[in-house]
Chain A
Amino acid sequence: MKPDELLIETQHLTFRFGGRQVLHDVDLRVPRGSIYGFLGPNGAGKSTTMRLLLGLLPAPAGAVQLFGHDLARHRLGILARVGALIETPSLYDHLSGHDNLEVTRRLRGLPTGRTAEVLATVGLAADAHRPVRQYSLGMRQRLGLALTLLPDPELLILDEPTNGLDPQGIIEMRELLRKLQQEHGKTILLCSHLISEVERVATHVGVIQQGRLLFQGSLSALQRRRHSAAQVVIETDDALRCRNLLPAEFGAATVLSPGTLGLPYHSQEQMAYLAQQLIAAGQPLYGLRCEQPSLEQSFLHLTETALAG
């Protein structure tokens, strides 16, 4: 198998719900071994896409391919290799954590030992025999993840897995996802509306807004895109005065505050040159740095552009 092989591929995936077009021509490409952050605000079409990927909603034949097979034709064979957590974890409150896993283990016809193994993986072995109704939100989320890990799937589809977790829980979940990808070679499709969350773990990113895929590529491609939007920030005494003294260098600069100037970033040499010129003109230089927009800003930029268009 080639490393750049796609585990999920959709072709012109379109979906109408009643009279409303929910997805427009979505071409999702999730490479094997990636953590693919599927980002978008609530109502953008993330959940619909996930439901289509699992066959919970009917997709047109040929539009969804998982592991290189058409989902419409090989649904059960494909689902045997996928673990999915959609929205809130499906847990039976009257059963213990162990029995909740046992239900799905029996349903999938998996060996008996798997239940104990996944309980250990998510760190719930000690609480396995308590009823799930006594579990905290974080424990429920971990049990939900354990359910998806039961069949030792090659592909995990997780919808907002950090929902409702406290900061410590979020960190643990992030580490667990990273471990699953790096040590166990899992491919993870991670849906989220939290940009900061995706930025920390994802290797690839897809941004969806109003049913359209606005950006798709590696995290570094997104970062390069951000790089082109980087700016040099200069802290001095009087920003306006600097701009007037050195019109050739700072004519294009924007005054960010009375003592701060911003200029589009080009290179390190540009930064050194600007510093030299400023000092030569007798102006103080308190700070000089290159600022990149956060993923959040890029993301907002992408969605705003889409709205404007």
Chain B
Amino acid sequence: MNTALLAPTPGPLTQLRRSLAADTLKLKHTAALWLALGSGALPVVLYLLIFYFKGQYLVKAGQNPWPSYISHSWQTTAGLLLPLFVVLLCSLVLHVETKASAWKHLDAQPVGHLATYVSKLLVLLGLNLLAQVVFVVLLLASGALLGLLRPGLLFSDYAPPVAAMLTLLGHTYLATLGILALQFVAALWWRNFVTPVAIGMGCTVVGLALLRWEYIDWVPYAEPLLATSKAMVKGKANTLTVAQVFNQTEQLAVGWWVVVLTVAYPLLRWRQQRQ
């Protein structure tokens, strides 16, 4: 038998770097990428129109309009659109492999299963962040546009609270991690598009229906709305104040993320070897 030495196995970081390089290329021309880039526009356009036509009822005369504009659009986004976005994003990204029947191909490459798992997760975290950053940028741009179109609302007279928005972005981002982990695992477990999306949509509706439940903080699908509401405090002079400390809801979301991803990895390996 041949006793020739095999090439040394690349280190875990090299494997991860290679997986990421491949995974980012796969995003080209995908619905996942367009969803991440475009999903922020929907709530922004909606509130742009609402404030354009009915702004006088939503902003007190002579006051800074930014806090009201931001809190209205942010709550709608975090409450319903963001959970649904994460549900759809996870399935779209992972379905790229399923549709190409590429899981077996990936498993036959000299890259470990953990590198594949972490790489996909990082892609999702990145797209989730991209979508939320795009939302913030569009929100700022639309406020500036309202300043031009409806000078009476005084958008141009006040500086947008950029620092507060970035802190709020941090809160919202962390609060989505629980959903992201659950949907990521669901999409890997069923490896089809419909099942995890149906489960995710169902859970989002349940989360909203149970908002008054005493343990609602533990429901990941309600966490973006709860965390955002808790973090956002309207100041006295109608200023936007955002808590600097991470609240319990966000801690629970991060907890879900860590526990789900850790427990799911060996379970997924077990399941994949039986398919």
Contacts and interface: CB of A to CB of B under 8 A. Distances in A.
Interface stretch (B21-29, B81-89, B254-262): B21-29
Interface in A65-100: 65, 67-69, 74, 76-82, 84, 86-88, 90-95, 99
A293 B274 CA distance: 41
Contacts of A86: 104-105, 108
Given A56-B104, A80-B6, A106 B21 contact: yes
Contacts of B237: none
A23 to B, nearest CB: 15
Main secondary structure of the interface of B (DSSP, over half): loop
A79 B28 CA distance: 27
Interface in B200-248: none
Given A56-B108, A65-B1, A104-B109, A77 B25 contact: no
B163 interface: no
Interface in B35-93: none
B109 A81 contact: no
A103 B273 contact: no
Contact of B29 (A55, A84, A95): A95
A76 B110 contact: yes
Contacts of B104: 51, 56, 86-87, 90
Contacts of B110: 76-77, 79-80, 108
A90 B105 contact: yes
Interface in A47-63: 51, 54-58
Contacts of A1: 2, 4
Contact of A6 (B1, B7, B28, B109): B1
B6 A92 contact: no
A102 interface: yes
A107 interface: yes
A108 B3 contact: no
27 contacts: A6-B1, A32-B2, A55-B107, A56-B107, A56-B108, A68-B4, A69-B6, A76-B10, A77-B8, A78-B6, A80-B9, A81-B7, A86-B105, A86-B108, A87-B101, A90-B105, A91-B100, A92-B26, A92-B99, A94-B29, A94-B96, A107-B22, A107-B106, A108-B18, A108-B111, A109-B14, A147-B105
B46 to A, nearest CB: 30
B112 interface: yes
A5 B96 CA distance: 40
Interface residues of B, number: 34
Interface centre among B3, B26, B96, B109 (most CB of A within 10 A): B109
Counting contact residues on chain A (CB < 8 A from B), the size range is 35 or more
Nearest to B7: A80
B195 interface: no
B102 interface: yes
Contacts of A104: 22, 105, 109
Given A65-B1, A92-B26, 20 more contacts: A6-B1, A51-B104, A56-B104, A68-B2, A68-B3, A69-B6, A76-B10, A76-B110, A76-B111, A77-B7, A81-B6, A82-B108, A86-B108, A88-B101, A90-B102, A93-B99, A95-B26, A99-B28, A106-B22, A107-B18
A88 B104 CA distance: 10
B100 A90 contact: yes
Interface centre among B29, B99, B101, B110 (most CB of A within 10 A): B110
A294 B215 CA distance: 74
A65 B100 CA distance: 30
Interface in A23-45: 32
Interface string A100-131: 00111011110000000000000000000000
Contacts of A108: 18, 109-111
A9 interface: yes
B128 interface: no
